Amino acid sequence: MQKHYKPLYPVGFDTYVDPFVGSGGMLVQALKKNPQATCYINDSNKYIIGIYEAIKNNWDAFDKKVSEIYDYFYTLPPTEVCNKTRKAAYYKLREEYNYDYSKWTDGEGAAILFFLLRNCFRGVWHTSKKTSRFSHTCGTMSDSKKFYKGGARFIPYVDLRPNLLQWHKALQTVYIQTGDWKNCGGLDAPNAWIYLDPPYRGGTMDYGQEGGWTDANQKELLEFAVNKTNPSTEVWLSNRDIGDGFFDDAIQQNSYIVDTHKFASKFHLKTTGPYAKCIELLLIKKPQQAT
């Protein structure tokens, strides 16, 4: 979606706030727009936040462990599309991550989770029902440069490390939290850019939210975005339009401050009928002009 969002990025903000940071894609864009901005990030997933904290505060241990894992996997022989040897090693490492993780430091555990996420099927977060820790299927683990539905190409750590080192440097000025989005710092800051990217409607994953992320949660977040933020702040809310008119009332009632953008998604939605093309929804509350 970034190619659609790029022309819409705000300028002149002093603070960036991301209460559902996930992989941090929008944080990168905010830092590019204003490297001097005060940034607050949060996620209810403590394991994802653990990766950010390790990269920021425990770089040496994280860097060493990721390097060791990639070096080992690169000793295993590659094939064109699907490597059974690497896959077996992936599942062994995933088993250790779920049941034998006490032997690792926090930095090492975060490094192993980073590797598993980077090389799982499509980079999607799935957990074990038994342990509640990450446990998704392996991706292709292939060196091939050809596109394959299983996920990203398996590349050496020497190619990944420069990007991670940039993350390490950038995160030194970022405030990192884990917990409920409402407790994220900076939500009441003036002249801010707040990006709200909660679990999407029509999805099948709860992202650690007890009872799942419900329509009541969606409405609470929408109410906050439209009516409870600082008047000088620009607020973005991303979600999915599944065709039931859920967001229509909010859009109509607040049309004087909300811009609406809809983009076709490459993903499809399965409800009670045939698969339907998803529509990505972006609501933008612009700063109110002083009178």
Fold of 60-157: Adenine-specific Methyltransferase; domain 2 (1.10.1020)
Of the two residues 26 and 74, the one the predictor is more confident about is: 26
List the chain domain ranges: 2-44+179-285, 60-157
- The CATH number given to 2-44+179-285 is 3.40.50.150
Instruction: Give the pLDDT mean for 135-158.
Output: 72
* pLDDT band of 244, cuts 50, 70, 90: confident
Count Cβ neighbours within 10 Å for each residue of 6-32 and write b for 16 or more, e otherwise.
Answer: eeebbeebbbbbbbbbbebebbebbbe
Q: Give pLDDT, residue 82.
A: 53
Cross-strand pairs, 174? 39
- The single-letter code of the amino acid at 7 is P
- Domain 2-44+179-285 identical in fold to domain 60-157: no
Task: Classify residue 134 by its DSSP letter.
Answer: B
Give tens-digit pLDDT for 108-129: 999 999 999 999 988 889 999 9
Cα(284)–Cα(277) distance, integer angstroms = 23
**204 vs 4, residue with greater confidence:** 4
Q: Report the relative pairing of strands 38-43 and 174-178 from DSSP bridges.
A: parallel
pLDDT at 207 > cutoff 50 = yes
What is d(CA 117, CA 124) in angstroms, rounded to the nearest whole number? 7
